[in-house]
Amino acid sequence: MPEQLKRLFPLFAIFIIIFLIIRHLLIPDTFGLYGHYRGDALKDNANIELVYASKEACIECHSDIREMLEMDEHSDISCLSCHGPGLEHVENPETANIEKPGSREFCGRCHAINPARSTNMIIQVDIKEHHAEKKDCIDCHNPHQVWEIKE
Amino acid sequence: MLSQVEGYIYPNEIALQWGILIVLYPYITGLVAGAFIMASLERVFNVTVLKPTYELALLTALAFLICAPLPLISHLGHPGRAYEIMITPNKGSAMAIFGFVYLWYLMVVLLLEIWFDYRRDFVIWSREKTGLMKWVYRVLTLGMSDISPAALKWDIKLGNIITVVGIPSAFLLHGYVGFIFGSIKANPWWSTVMMPVIFLFSAMVSGIALVMLLYMIVSYLRKVKIDMPCLDTIGKFLFYALIIDFSLESLDQIHRIYEAEESFDILHMLVSGKLYITLFGMQILFGMVIPMIGLGILQVAKIKENIRKIILLITGILVLNGIFFMRWNVVIGGQLFSKSFHGFTSFKLGLIGTEGLFMAIAWLLLPFAVLAFLLWLMPPWKKMNSE
Amino acid sequence: MGNKGIKSSRRKFVKKTAAIAGTLVASSLIEPFKLLVYATEEPKDEGPWWGVGIDISKCIGCGLCAKSCKIENNVPEDPFFFRSWVEQYTVYNDGTVKVVSPNGGIDGFNQEEDKENIFKTFFVPKMCNQCAKSPCTQVCPVGATFETPEGITLVDSEHCIGCSYCVQACPYGCRYIHPESIVADKCTLCYHRLTKGIAPACMEVCPTGARIYGNLRDPESELVKYMKNNSYQVLKPNLNTGSKLYYNALSAEVI
């Protein structure tokens, strides 16, 4: 073997060994546990805090409204669709910390006229014209009992 | 920001993910591969007229290779985590192989070839010099100070082996950079099997042009006469490489036009709109057609030496500029249109900041500084065998 | 002599073809065609294998899915970052197609009355397709984005280097670089909710049941029933991403 290679081989060997040692030290603990990724990443992702409560969370305390809603046209709609995240409220119900949107704009999200909305799915009204004598939709409609019209 | 949108694009597509730094990355890597192939031409195919540029090409390749990953790393969201590419490389990812291809190319190909080529000179210089430099050269010999003819023969033999290994490695290095783009099936502007080949030949074009220019500049600075047969030969190779590159790129585009897949309309709008100047002007007209005409004339007509030099100088600059815009059109162009094929976003190059023009210029100048250092440390013209 | 040779070789050929055809038929009996998602890779695990169904004919474009997604997942408020958004397609009588998604549909869509010129119009909610053959996980250089055993593509924000390659590779534009953590971010199908047995936020708030999710391995799941009863389609099927987001009533204009 020529002298050159006698110098180079040990150098390369040292280089590779150092690389392997560094690699061993730096590789995350759970890497490769389930696949080519950090196993703990599953836990990290699963441990993210919830913001939205679950649908069922409200029934416990608001069974009256639930029952009222169940009989209604709005029965398929989750409480969360209108009231927002709600988890904060579930954990701390005494304070008024939940949305109660009843504006024309809000109801219009679903009910405003748009040709892309199938009329089978939703009855649409002109949110600017429809009974414009009152300001908000909930001034007449009870959101949980839509046909109970207030005068 | 929303005003820069035309038509409909997916909402996440407004800002370009890859800016000018990623344009530089294939550009610089291409220069490395090109310069190395240029050097290998001389060695493997024994094109002796190119001898004056052999070491220069090698050192150019080394200088640019050292700088190649820097813009890439600085572009990352977490540059501090860049090492993970080596620690937990994902076998399926073209980008993950970068670390290894890079190391292979740097350690096994370039450094070794240069070491075998310079070892005798390191030994001689370490004997001639005094003080610190003596020790620097001594370290560079790796403690092997035997310069008997038998040992030198081995240098040449091993160097030849490395060169033979080096050519496919250079192809790999840059073909693979093309693959990074060519393998993205989501992007019809990138996704073509031709991409690695096109990148390879454009790399050769740019590398040859760069070595040619550097040779002229270095000769001018050293106030020595340019070796005209050498320069003419480089010009000839540049001409051939340009023709191949041009044909390949035309083939790719013709194929695209003829097949006219679902993405054709948006790409048509792209090249005739946002990319019009950089593609047809900078890349094709100034970067290819005019240099090809210039070099073509040199191949057939007898022209005075001084004018030949000027033509070569201008074509060299035009070609380097053209290849830069080729990278630009690929990288930036590929992100200007929406993957919904319904609209465009736009790109504004800032002046300052890590993604700005000044930073890009700095990254581009850095390899030249490194090259200057290398030329000072191991000047090819002070080598034993050079005249 | 020669004739005989030909004959016997022909007989051999016939026999061989019959044998091959026989095995083909037999094996296709043993192994019936799999659902689109299983086309190449059959998941080996037990446990759920999540997929999503979106029924375009049911969507009324309220945008609550997009809104709840941003709130639930700490997605930046700017209109350039979305894990889930809603597009409105309008095809006019002259054949032109207009696509809009004002702020991703988060604030709902405007009231529109002009029906005259419209050939047809519909909403298309978009989100991560949870591909079984994800182009995005394929390109990640460090294994920071990956598919979980449940078939959900996640990002490991501790490990991601922020190279944006996955953003480039996603054909559906569902990824972005989070401006605060500067790592890739995307829909997780609310992995943190699913693992607790709670529906993803967007499914929770959908008023019409246009969005459903379910276990593709469970023949009784809502999603499998939906797939049985509807002529579903995935986006960009030509890219063979193994998308597990099945649209019903998907029109050809949608891309």
Residue at token pair 């390749």: B61
How far CA B284 is from CA of B42, B287, B329, in Å, comes to 29, 5, 11
Flag if A4 and B119 touch (Cβ within 8 Å): yes
Please report the pLDDT score of residue C114 as a whole number: 73
CA-to-CA distance for B376 and B129, rounded, in angstroms? 14
B–C interface: beta-carbon pairs under 8 A: 125
Tell me which H or E stretch contains B43.
helix B20-44
Please report the pLDDT score of residue C34 as a whole number: 52
Flag if A80 and C72 touch (Cβ within 8 Å): no
CA-to-CA distance for C238 and B259, rounded, in angstroms? 15
Asked if residue B62 lies in contact with residue B23, where contact means CB atoms within 8 angstroms, the answer is no
Grade residue C32 by pLDDT with cuts at 50, 70 and 90.
Answer: very low
Q: What percent of chain C has pLDDT over 90?
A: 66
CA-to-CA distance for B228 and B49, rounded, in angstroms? 9
**Which of B:79-138 have CB within 8 Å of C?**
81-82, 84-85, 87-90, 92-96, 98
Grade residue A81 by pLDDT with cuts at 50, 70 and 90.
Answer: very high
CA-to-CA distance for B16 and C167, rounded, in angstroms? 10
In one-letter notation, the amino acid at residue C192 is H
Contacts of C98 in chain B (CB under 8 A): 8
Flag if B158 and A19 touch (Cβ within 8 Å): no
Given a cut of 50, whether residue C8 has pLDDT beyond it is yes
What is the distance between the terminal CA atoms of chain C, rounded to a whole angstrom? Answer: 64
What are the helix (H) ranges across B273-352?
290-300, 305-331, 333-336
Given a cut of 50, whether residue C5 has pLDDT beyond it is no
Please report the pLDDT score of residue B194 as a whole number: 93
Asked if residue C208 lies in contact with residue C59, where contact means CB atoms within 8 angstroms, the answer is yes
Question: Which is more confident, C13 or B168?
Answer: B168
Asked if residue C90 lies in contact with residue A117, where contact means CB atoms within 8 angstroms, the answer is no
Please report the pLDDT score of residue C35 as a whole number: 54
Interface probe with C: pick from A109, A125, A137, A146, most Cβ of C within 10 Å: A109
3-state SS assignment for residue C177: strand
Flag if B87 and A27 touch (Cβ within 8 Å): yes
Which positions ≥6 away from A5 have C-beta within 8 Å? B158
Contacts of B92 in chain C (CB under 8 A): 137-139
Tell me the two tokens of residue C207. 């008023």
Nearest Cβ partner of B87 from A5, A8, A26? Answer: A26
Mean predicted lDDT score pLDDT of chain B? 92
Interface probe with B: pick from C168, C175, C183, most Cβ of B within 10 Å: C168
Please report the pLDDT score of residue C39 as a whole number: 44
Given a cut of 50, whether residue C4 has pLDDT beyond it is no
Grade residue C40 by pLDDT with cuts at 50, 70 and 90.
Answer: very low
Asked if residue C154 lies in contact with residue C115, where contact means CB atoms within 8 angstroms, the answer is no
C160–chain B Cβ distance below 8 A for any pair: yes
Given a cut of 90, whether residue A73 has pLDDT beyond it is no
How do the domains of chain B map onto residue ranges?
18-237+351-386
Lowest mean pLDDT among A111-125, B28-42, C29-43: C29-43
Interface probe with C: pick from B4, B12, B83, B184, most Cβ of C within 10 Å: B12
**Which of A:15-54 have CB within 8 Å of B?**
15, 19, 22-23, 26-28, 31, 36
Contacts of A5 in chain B (CB under 8 A): 158
Touching partners of C (3+ C-beta pairs < 8 Å): A, B
Strands C84-92 and C118-127 come out as: antiparallel
Please report the pLDDT score of residue B134 as a whole number: 92
Flag if B78 and C81 touch (Cβ within 8 Å): no
Flag if C139 and B8 touch (Cβ within 8 Å): no
Tell me the two tokens of residue A74. 């709005």
Asked if residue A109 lies in contact with residue C108, where contact means CB atoms within 8 angstroms, the answer is yes
ipTM, 2 decimals?
0.90
Please report the pLDDT score of residue C233 as a whole number: 92
**Which of B:59-98 have CB within 8 Å of A?**
83-84, 86-88, 90-91
C183–chain B Cβ distance below 8 A for any pair: yes
Grade residue C14 by pLDDT with cuts at 50, 70 and 90.
Answer: low
Residue range A12-40: average pLDDT? 93
How do the domains of chain C map onto residue ranges?
1-255
How far CA C247 is from CA of C50, C53, C234, in Å, comes to 15, 6, 6
CA-to-CA distance for B276 and B269, rounded, in angstroms? 9
CA nearest to A40 within chain C: C156
Residue at token pair 């005989």: C4
When mean pLDDT is compared over A53-57, B241-245, C22-26, the highest value belongs to B241-245
CA-to-CA distance for B243 and B312, rounded, in angstroms? 16
Please report the pLDDT score of residue C146 as a whole number: 94
Q: pTM (2 decimals)?
A: 0.89
How far CA C36 is from CA of A151, B186, C133, C212, in Å, comes to 55, 19, 12, 18
3-state SS assignment for residue C215: strand
Q: What percent of chain C has pLDDT over 70?
A: 82
Please report the pLDDT score of residue A150 as a whole number: 79
Cβ-in-10-Å burial (0-12, 13-18, 19+) of C17 comes to exposed
Given a cut of 90, whether residue A93 has pLDDT beyond it is no
CA of C151, closest CA in chain A: separation in Å?
12
How far CA C87 is from CA of B159, B212, C96, C131, in Å, comes to 61, 54, 16, 21
Q: Is the dihedral of CA B230, B231, B234, B236 positive or negative?
A: negative
Grade residue C46 by pLDDT with cuts at 50, 70 and 90.
Answer: confident
Nearest Cβ partner of B144 from A4, A19, A28? Answer: A4
3-state SS assignment for residue C54: strand
Q: What percent of chain A has pLDDT over 90?
A: 38
- The per-type count for chain B, helices as H runs and strands as E runs, is 15, 2
pLDDT tens per residue, range C147-190: 998 899 999 999 999 999 999 999 999 999 999 999 999 999 99
CA-to-CA distance for B157 and B144, rounded, in angstroms? 17
CA nearest to A27 within chain C: C159
Touching partners of A (3+ C-beta pairs < 8 Å): B, C
CA of A151, closest CA in chain C: separation in Å?
27
Contacts of C60 in chain A (CB under 8 A): 110, 117-118, 121-122
CA of C121, closest CA in chain A: separation in Å?
5
How do the domains of chain A map onto residue ranges?
55-139
Please report the pLDDT score of residue B343 as a whole number: 93
CA-to-CA distance for C191 and C212, rounded, in angstroms? 15
Please report the pLDDT score of residue B2 as a whole number: 64
CA-to-CA distance for B324 and B320, rounded, in angstroms? 6
Catalogue the E-assigned strands of chain C. Answer: 50-55, 84-92, 97-100, 118-127, 145-147, 153-155, 176-177, 184-185, 211-215, 245-248
Give the phi and the psi of residue C217 in degrees, each rounded to 5: -85, -10
Flag if C183 and B84 touch (Cβ within 8 Å): no
Asked if residue B50 lies in contact with residue B230, where contact means CB atoms within 8 angstroms, the answer is yes
Please report the pLDDT score of residue C91 as a whole number: 93
Q: Which of A100, A138, A142, A107 is nearest to A123 (CA)?
A: A107
Asked if residue B181 lies in contact with residue B330, where contact means CB atoms within 8 angstroms, the answer is yes
Flag if B88 and A19 touch (Cβ within 8 Å): no
Cβ-in-10-Å burial (0-12, 13-18, 19+) of A24 comes to exposed
B18–chain C Cβ distance below 8 A for any pair: yes
Asked if residue B368 lies in contact with residue B67, where contact means CB atoms within 8 angstroms, the answer is no
A–B interface: beta-carbon pairs under 8 A: 37
Mean predicted lDDT score pLDDT of chain C? 85
B252–chain A Cβ distance below 8 A for any pair: no
Given a cut of 80, whether residue C21 has pLDDT beyond it is no
Touching partners of B (3+ C-beta pairs < 8 Å): A, C
Residue at token pair 């090698």: B58
Asked if residue C202 lies in contact with residue C104, where contact means CB atoms within 8 angstroms, the answer is no
Flag if B12 and C175 touch (Cβ within 8 Å): yes
Stated length of chain A: 151
Give the phi and the psi of residue B190 in degrees, each rounded to 5: -95, -40
Give the phi and the psi of residue A122 in degrees, each rounded to 5: -155, 135
Residue at token pair 């790109």: B347
Please report the pLDDT score of residue A54 as a whole number: 86
**Structural domain C1-255, CATH architecture:** 2-Layer Sandwich (3.30)
Flag if C201 and A47 touch (Cβ within 8 Å): no
Nearest Cβ partner of A114 from C112, C205, C209? Answer: C112
CA-to-CA distance for B310 and B91, rounded, in angstroms? 48
Given a cut of 70, whether residue C31 has pLDDT beyond it is no
Q: Is the dihedral of CA C149, C150, C152, C154 positive or negative?
A: negative
Given a cut of 70, whether residue C36 has pLDDT beyond it is no
Flag if C60 and A126 touch (Cβ within 8 Å): no
Contacts of A31 in chain B (CB under 8 A): 88
**Which of C:186-225 have CB within 8 Å of B?**
none
As averages over each run of 10 residues, the pLDDT of chain B (387 residues) reads 83 92 94 92 87 93 95 93 93 88 90 93 91 92 88 92 90 88 94 94 96 95 93 95 96 93 92 93 95 94 92 96 96 95 91 90 96 94 67
Flag if A7 and B144 touch (Cβ within 8 Å): yes
Nearest Cβ partner of A3 from B83, B112, B146? Answer: B146
Nearest Cβ partner of C173 from B1, B93, B339? Answer: B339
B11–chain C Cβ distance below 8 A for any pair: yes
Please report the pLDDT score of residue B81 as a whole number: 94
CA-to-CA distance for C76 and B196, rounded, in angstroms? 37
